[in-house]
Chain A
Amino acid sequence: MTQSDQNNNIDLNQFNQVFFEECAEHLAEMEQILVSLPDEGPDEEQLNAIFRAAHSIKGGAGIFGFQDMTVVTHVLESLLDRMRNHEIPFSTAMVDLFLEAGDVISMQLAGHRDGAFVRQEAIEQISAKLQQVIDAGSLDAPAGSASAAMIPVPEEIAQSGTVASEHSDQRYELVFTPDPDIFRRGIRLENLFAELEELGELTVTAGLPATTDFNSIDPEICVCSWRMTLVTTAGEADIRDIFEFVADLDQLQLRTVSENVREISASDDSKAIATVTPPENTRLMPTGESAADPAGAATGRRAYDKNELAAGAYGRRTSEAESSIRVGVTKVDQLINQVGELVITQLMLAQTATVLDPVLHENLHRSLLQLERNTRDLQQSVMSIRLVPISIVFSRFPRMVRELAAKLGKQVELKTVGDTTELDKGLIEKITDPLTHLVRNCMDHALETPEARIAAGKEPCGTITLRASQIGGRIVIDVIDDGAGLNRAKILAKAAERGIPASDNMSDEEVWQLIFAPGFSTAECVTDISGRGVGMDVVLRNVQSMSGRVNISSEPGNGTRVTISLPLTLAILDGLSVAVGQEKFIIPLNSIVESLQPAPESLKTVNGGNVVHVRGEYIPIIALYELFNMDALVKEPGKGILILIDVEGEKAALLVDALLDEHQVVIKSIETNYRKVEGTAGATILGDGRVALILDVNSLFRMRKQK
């Protein structure tokens, strides 16, 4: 392979990746709209959005050479276009059909992106199904029925019997106001008009601005506009396709005057163009605006682009989105690391400056303070790049809930609140599985059947609410259902059966925590949805691996709330630095309860281990110097400082020589740069340039038990 070939391959792969990402986004958007459709079917905006997603996938696939992906998307796009033109009516069964089509396209995407297996028969089947609907004119009607029957026709015309077929001519009026640079871009309008003429009978009239000072014009700048009429059997999309690379949305106004043509066709076989005149006061509007005009017929996708800004429009592109760029996560992580290094350098400078006289070096100290502020601001700004909205996770659930509800014979409404809440991309990826399991549990166990709900005096339709919010420095995600609630007696009985320590004296909160025990399940039958008892413990472990917490509250008959609390990011951490011998450690602040110098009488020995008596509790002491096999200045608990830590109810007291300072530290992977060090969650570089290990409190508990 030559260097040039390599370069070409590299470039192509980069572009392919962009296509894969965009295709996945379009599929997700399409699915989101489909599962949220009301029974009466999509409105114009929703239909346009689905169409646009299919069209974009098809266009991208064609450009990037994934021709196989254009097969399904083409027939899907054709069907959607017929629906947009009111030629084929919507039916609820179409949602499943479109979702199935989306699945097949996803499969093809995975085939190209990940080398996953692609079932050709699935592609052929869905293409055939979609084509059958197009041919039949509806999902329910037998093949061959006239789709023209679906076209809304004015009553008087219908009675006259003049609308013979779906292919009757349409008269379009277009006003084209080109970009001023169109001539300079080398676009030849003759070719454009010739293409239009191929569609049917075209008349063109050029117009100049009302007043122009000839002495001050730029002859290469286009100031003309063109008014055209086109009588054709082609659809609006075909016309807009011709302008696709020539005109922006607001440069082409298009409307149909189909009724006039039909009336004249009834009395005269000749084309109507010479005799049909639109009302003088008719204002030609961009089709995006014509949505408000019931006579304005179907709108095109470019029109939809404009109307995406309208309230309630799906798949909208805000000005912010349009000005965004797509950047690889590795680049962002590299930037975060570099800013982390900058923070460390700033800390080093600050530390060095502490020995300098603040009066003699007043300017230097002032500048260092400014540097600290700027560095922190920069760090926060950079960290925010990794933050993504949780809607990315939430958006996968509507379809899952819809399908599970159908499978279980339950009626379920899914509500999401706080979709725009942002959290770290790394957390987003890890939180998906736990949330999926919780929602499946709600569907399978928590929510009752419609009959049971009615018997309990509830609405037959249950509700699952996913709610995300930022509270302080943490993200809180609630999974709430209005089902039967947890059954305390059943949980306690199951715990006893499984040998899990439990008693009737336990508080509700403690009883609810039992369901996180490995292998715990009160489900009476194992289903393929949940109930194997291998879920909630995995949920807890996954959440804890993100430094998160899980809490449950439940009320019999009224439902359950599972609350997951996560840190905003995994890249920086608030910690307390402590000294043990010549070394320094960072203890995460969120696990620290308090620090104390123990009174001699509060220290005891139990089973050969040291404990400290604090407010009625005996808390085991973990001597860090022992755990890490190092020298320490203080080896007697009574002479050192104890830091009480609490993780998910498990407590311990860490023995250290001294407390040093509170820091916001940049977490560095010690595993990547050195090797795994048990008892640590990483390392950071302190202001004096020394490396400090960040303690992993959970693994300290494990290490103590092993010793």
Chain B
Amino acid sequence: MNTEAGESLKTCLDGECSMSTVAGKYPALMNCLARLLDSGASGERNDCSTSGALLVDLTGVTDIDACGCQLLALFLSGLKQNNISAQLTNIPDTIRSKIHFLGFDSEFNLSH
């Protein structure tokens, strides 16, 4: 996972996002949140459409399960609590289907 600073902030998730990998992905997400807070990203950027909203790029995600969805949802929730807007982007169809099937559409602000 890497986080890029640009016109809008972006972080990427790669590989499998499941029970067997969440423990490894969690520190990176926690680190991402801490960096965003340190950089003063909170408080002003409430709308994802505005520049500076965090984009969570799922292009490289090969699989996701309920545990992975939960981690992602908690991450987005953590961002929201700190007034940081975020949006999932580049979601592969198979991953989108799984997110829908597992009922995380509304948590991820996705329409199906």
Contact = CB atoms under 8 A, between A and B. Distances in A.
Contacts of B75: 214
B102 A220 contact: no
Interface size class of A (residues with CB under 8 A): 20 to 34
Contacts of A193: 101-103
Contact of A214 (B22, B66, B77, B101): B77
B66 A215 contact: no
B65 A189 contact: yes
Contacts of B106: 205-206
Contacts of A204: 101-103
Interface string A195-228: 0000000011111100111110101101110111
Contacts of B29: 214
Interface string A158-187: 000000000000000000000000011010
A206 B78 contact: no
A186 B105 CA distance: 23
B67 A183 contact: yes
Given A204-B101, A205-B106, A224-B66, A214 B23 contact: no
A190 interface: yes
Given A184-B19, A206-B73, A214 B33 contact: yes
Contacts of A227: 103
B96 interface: no
Given A212-B78, A224-B73, A206 B104 contact: yes
Contacts of B103: 193, 203-206, 226-228
Interface string B70-98: 11011101100100000000000000001
A90 B53 CA distance: 64
B65 A224 contact: no
B11 to A, nearest CB: 14
A113 interface: no
A222 B70 contact: yes
B67 A206 contact: no
Nearest to B81: A211
A214 B74 contact: yes
A188 interface: yes
A219 B23 contact: yes
A206 B77 contact: no
B66 A190 contact: yes
Contacts of A226: 103
Contacts of B23: 219-220
A540 B25 CA distance: 79
Contacts of A215: 30, 33-34, 78
Contacts of B104: 206
B107 interface: yes
A220 B22 CA distance: 7
B102 A212 contact: no
A274 to B, nearest CB: 13
Candidate in A204, A205, A206 with the most chain B CB atoms within 10 angstroms: A206
Interface in A203-259: 203-208, 211-215, 217, 219-220, 222-224, 226-228
Contacts of A214: 29-30, 33, 74-75, 77-78, 81
A335 to B, nearest CB: 46
Interface string A486-513: 0000000000000000000000000000
B101 A222 contact: no
B73 A208 contact: yes
B69 interface: yes
A219 B25 contact: yes
B30 A223 contact: no
Given A214-B74, A214-B78, A224-B66, A190 B102 contact: yes
Interface in B7-46: 19, 22-23, 25-26, 29-30, 33-34
Given A183-B19, A189-B65, A215-B33, A223 B70 contact: yes
A596 to B, nearest CB: 85
Contacts of B73: 206, 208, 224
Interface of A: 183-184, 186, 188-190, 193, 203-208, 211-215, 217, 219-220, 222-224, 226-228
18 contacts: A189-B65, A190-B65, A203-B103, A205-B105, A206-B69, A206-B70, A206-B73, A208-B74, A211-B81, A214-B30, A214-B77, A214-B78, A215-B34, A217-B74, A219-B22, A219-B67, A222-B66, A223-B70
Give 8 nearest A-B pairs by CB, closest first. A214-B78, A204-B103, A206-B103, A219-B22, A189-B66, A219-B26, A183-B67, A205-B103
Given A190-B101, A211-B81, A222-B70, 6 more contacts: A208-B74, A212-B74, A214-B81, A219-B71, A220-B67, A222-B67
